[in-house]
Amino acid sequence: MSMSRGLQNCTPRPAQLLDSDVFRRQGHQVIDFIAEYYSRISDYPVHPYVLPGFLSRRLPEAAPSQPEQPDPLSAALNDVRDLILPGITHWQSPRHFAHFPASSSTIGALGEALAAGINVVPFTWAASPAATELEVVVMDWLGKALHLPKSMLFEGGGGGTLLGTSCEAILCVLVAARDSKLAEVGDGRIGDLVVYCSDQTHFAFHKAARIAGLRKDNCRVIPARREDMYALPPAALQAAMQTDVEAGLIPLLLCSSMGTTPTTAVDPIRELCAVASPHGVWVHVDAAYAGSALICPEFRHLADSVDAVDSLSMNPHKWLLANNDCCALWLKQPSALVAALGTDDDVILKDAAAAAATDDGVPVVDYKDWQISLTRRFRALKVWLVLRCYGTDGLRDAVRAHVRMAAAFEDMVTSDARFEVVATRLFALVCFRLRPPTAATSRCEADDLNKRLHAAVNATREGPYMSSAVVGGAYVLRCAVGSTLTEERHVRDAWKVVQDHATLILAVY
């Protein structure tokens, strides 16, 4: 009795947990907090100086049984400010040049907030008709904005969906291709299916092949050479497929890249399709990063070859101002995806099929059949807001600004004879390294110098944060311009830090 009274006193009634007035007050607190973070983000070192365990040691061992009084949210936000923010890598810092960007905007963040607040689960059309239809509309809007061929849009008989990541998209596509091939050749042949990629392809593809149950030694990794700008050479693909066919194996899928992760190389997609198509091979384009550049007319030619492929995925969360998470996947034949991932034996979810019967010509989509999970986020709302509020011109200008700043960085690298740009810059990533300082410098010593340079640059408190890659066997630094807050001065300052450390390192070489 006294216990239940105690509970009543301290624990809010469920309805209070979503009270409008409380939400308004707490919402202001959180938005103010984020705005303050952005105004001070440059004060933090991009990468924190912390050791493993630094945070867990400072937090209690278990969740509190009672909220902290008088204002639990304020107390928690103080901890975010004092304990968490000093220990994160500040991906939105204007000095974050590592990996690829995690593109952010106020509208992208608020789109996430809006979707979280409405919190629907659009797994079937009927489970949230407007959320599903908005996704259908947004996929065609985005596809047109990126100049994708009509055959990939709902309008042209194809279609698309918003997933969380490219890893998911690539797996879904591979499973669709696998099942349509097995329907032709018989399930028993799964061990004979072969997939193709280059040695620059993202590990997402290898992971997908493993999950899809393909044999580990049936993944052909074709070397991409410096003289081909690290793009997959069609002749080598041709030879590999020929050998496999002669050995009685079945070529299944080629994962080509538009913008590889190490250097943003673009595979010759049309030539690769000409090789792959006669073998009945599904061609996917992984454009996770560079797909966003297709919004610019100057990159539009890259989309020309896409009419020859079966599917394409790209991440608006990487470079199109749509905050985490968001991967857009388009297919010419979504029916193959639905055949592989559809689940129509669940009576509870059957209602959409009935709805479909009442419609004339409008595609009725049950997006649960296009992905791995049932529950899904209302990502279309965020993408729609970003497209509406910035417009395709606004998005184009943002991408262009980054490309321009990267070109400026590339010029600075090129005009310092101690350095070399190791792969032609195509978008907003510059891969560079110190040249071997003398003719006698070994490959190993040169790598060591570049590793030291990289470590010194990243350890500079007010300096830039960059990542590295191994390109053509050599250790290189990657400067990826794409943080929304980055301005030209940040790029110039970053280069100055690189130069100064190079001078120090070479002085003692």
Ligand X SMILES: *Cc1c(COP(=O)(O)O)cnc(C)c1O
Q: How many CB atoms lie within 10 A of CB 473?
A: 8
Q: What is the rounded CA–CA span in Å between residue 17 and residue 2?
A: 24
Q: Which residues contact 135 (CB under 8 A, 6 or more apart)?
A: 122, 161, 162, 365, 367, 379, 380
Give whichever of 100 and 495 is closer to ligand X, judged by the CB atom: 100
Name the DSSP class of 84: I
- Bridge partners of residue 429, in order along the sequence: 480
Closest distance between ligand X and the C-beta of residue 424, in Å? Answer: 17
Cα 495 to Cα 299: distance, rounded to the nearest angstrom: 26
Q: Which stretch binds ligand X (CB under 6 A): 69-77, 254-262, 373-381, 397-405?
A: 254-262
Q: Contact, 161 vs 135, CB < 8 A?
A: yes
Among 90, 96, 178, 202, binds ligand X (CB under 6 A): 202
Stretch that binds ligand X, among 163-171, 330-338, 465-473, 498-506 (CB under 6 A): 163-171
Query: Residues 303, 146: contact at Cβ < 8 Å?
Result: yes
Which of positions 300-339 make contact with ligand X (CB under 6 A)?
A: 315, 327
Neighbours of 469 (CB within 10 A): 18
| Region binding ligand X by CB under 6 A among candidate stretches 252-260, 341-349, 376-384, 425-433 | 252-260
- Residue 131 binds ligand X (CB under 6 A): no
Closest approach, Cβ 256 to ligand X, in A, equals 10
Q: Please list every residue from 344 through 363 that binds ligand X, using CB under 6 A.
A: none
In terms of CB distance, is 100 or 367 closer to ligand X?
100
Stretch that binds ligand X, among 258-266, 271-279, 367-375, 412-420 (CB under 6 A): 258-266
Using CB under 6 A as the criterion, what x/- string covers residues 60-99 for binding ligand X?
----------------------------------------
Minimum CB distance to ligand X, residue 353 (Å): 31
Closer residue to ligand X, CB minimum distance, 125 or 205: 205
Return the SS3 of 427: coil
Q: How many CB atoms lie within 10 A of CB 372?
A: 14
Tell me which of 173, 204, 265, 413 binds ligand X, using CB under 6 A: 204
- To 5 degrees, how large is the angle CA 272–CA 230–CA 169? 60
Spatial neighbors of 265 by CB under 8 A, at least 6 apart, are: 200, 224, 229, 230, 231, 257, 259, 423, 426
- Residue 165 sits in the site that holds ligand X (CB under 6 A): yes
Residue 55 pairs in a beta bridge with none
Q: If binding is defined by CB under 6 A, does position 289 make contact with ligand X?
A: yes
Nearer to ligand X, 412 or 481 (CB): 481
Question: Of 166, 180, 256, 450, which lies in the binding site for ligand X, with binding defined by CB under 6 A?
Answer: 166
Task: Write out the residues near ligand X by the rule CB under 6 A.
Answer: 100, 165-167, 202, 204, 257, 259-261, 286, 288-289, 315, 327
